[in-house]
């Protein structure tokens, strides 16, 4: 089995790395947080000393980091992947970053004889734990074919969507749809609650119809219990929407609904809720309507 280097074992990266270990892959991990790294090492991974160290010892390197700047630092910075990567190696960046940054990093790695795929994911922590993420991939088909089996350990849906940067463009589209779905669920359920109708019964009544969705099924139980412990933090969704808005504006694409939900999330951030799960968008509507959607 291929040896895999894994950089970034946070909320998403940790279960993804653990699934690779369970599948029998030799995994070397690195994270700036030594405690998090130690948890994966205790499950069977080897500890890497730096991103460069991980790249030197593996032909497949996966990065799962919060934002574009983090990827640039881990790959292009001091003791980064680019300093240690071998010719012929493949970097799979599974972070959600700006498509332009994916293209820039890929170009630098190509000068060293390495290939990059951008492969952001959707599904949050629960699906990362289950190994059922949706993975959208951009890059050369030859490289994709080599790592498709590895990606399939972490996701139930693995799709090559185009050239480098296409994965993150697809993720931006995904994040607009998810955010607006959560907002729609929140708006509707606050209306039902204030009208005196049990929101749980509304949920059960509509989930099998046209209004039913994966978002509704995933987020409504959290809304009903008031559990906004993050699977995907509002602050990270703000980052994704920022990338979506910037990309859309560069391309001349109006995105009025994405702009509106961005402002709702910014209001929640100001209110100190930026580390809540994005299901916590409901709190914006609850505050305006002076009612709470709870069991």
Q: Are 223 and 265 in contact (CB under 8 A)?
A: no
Marked catalytic residue, from 14, 52, 127, 171: 171
For each of the domains in the chain, give its residue range(s) and CATH number, in order of start: 4-164 (3.40.50.720), 169-289 (1.10.1040.10)
Quick one: how far is CA 85 from the chain centroid?
24
Check the CA dihedral 269-292-124-44 and report its sign: positive
Percent of the residues in the chain that have a pLDDT greater than 90, as a whole number: 96
Closest to 247 measured CA to CA, from 73, 68, 62, 8: 68
Question: pLDDT by residue (tens digit) across 214-227?
Answer: 999 999 999 999 99
Please state the pTM of the whole predicted model: 0.90
* Average pLDDT over every residue of 43-65: 96
| Mean pLDDT rounded to a whole number for the chain | 96
* Structure-derived torsion over alpha carbons of residues 54, 8, 158, 249, reported in degrees to the nearest 10: -120
Reported as type and span, the H/E element at residue 236 is: helix 234-251
Question: pLDDT by residue (tens digit) across 235-278?
Answer: 999 999 999 999 999 999 999 999 999 999 999 999 999 999 99
Please give the full DSSP string across 92-116, using - where no structure is assigned. EE-S---HHHHHHHHHHHHTTT-EE
Considering only CA atoms, give the Rg of the chain: 20
Note the pLDDT of residue 172: 95
171 belongs to the catalytic site: yes
Token code pair at residue 204? 């059960």
User: 46-47 and 4-7: which strand pairing?
Assistant: unpaired
Q: Residue 37: pLDDT above 90?
A: yes
């Amino acid at each position: 089995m291929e040896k895999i280097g894994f950089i970034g074992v946070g909320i998403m990266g940790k279960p993804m790395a653990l699934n690779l270990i369970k599948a029998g892959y030799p995994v070397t991990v690195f994270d700036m947080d030594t405690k998090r790294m130690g948890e994966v090492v205790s499950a069977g991974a080897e500890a890497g000393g730096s991103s460069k160290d991980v790249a030197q010892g593996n032909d497949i390197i996966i990065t799962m980091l919060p934002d574009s700047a983090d990827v640039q630092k881990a790959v292009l910075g001091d003791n980064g992947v680019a300093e240690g990567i071998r010719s012929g190696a493949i970097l799979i960046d599974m972070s959600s970053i700006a498509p332009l940054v994916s293209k820039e990093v890929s170009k630098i790695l190509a000068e060293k004889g390495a290939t990059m795929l951008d492969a952001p994911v959707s599904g949050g922590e629960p699906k990362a734990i289950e190994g059922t993420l949706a993975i959208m991939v951009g890059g050369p088909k030859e490289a994709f074919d080599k790592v498709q089996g590895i990606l399939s350990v972490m996701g139930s849906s693995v799709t090559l969507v185009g050239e480098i940067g296409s994965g993150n463009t697809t993720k931006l589209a995904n994040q607009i749809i998810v955010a607006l779905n959560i907002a729609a669920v929140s708006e509707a359920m606050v209306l039902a609650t204030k009208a005196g109708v049990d929101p749980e019964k509304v949920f059960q009544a509509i989930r099998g119809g046209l209004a039913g969705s994966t978002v509704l099924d995933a987020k409504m139980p959290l809304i009903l219990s008031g559990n906004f412990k993050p699977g995907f933090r509002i602050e990270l969704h703000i980052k994704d929407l920022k990338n979506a808005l910037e990309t859309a504006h560069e391309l001349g694409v109006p995105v009025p609904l994405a702009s509106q939900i961005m402002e709702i999330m910014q209001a929640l951030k100001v209110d100190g809720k930026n580390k809540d799960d994005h299901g916590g968008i409901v709190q914006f509507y609850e505050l305006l309507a002076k009612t709470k959607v709870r069991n």
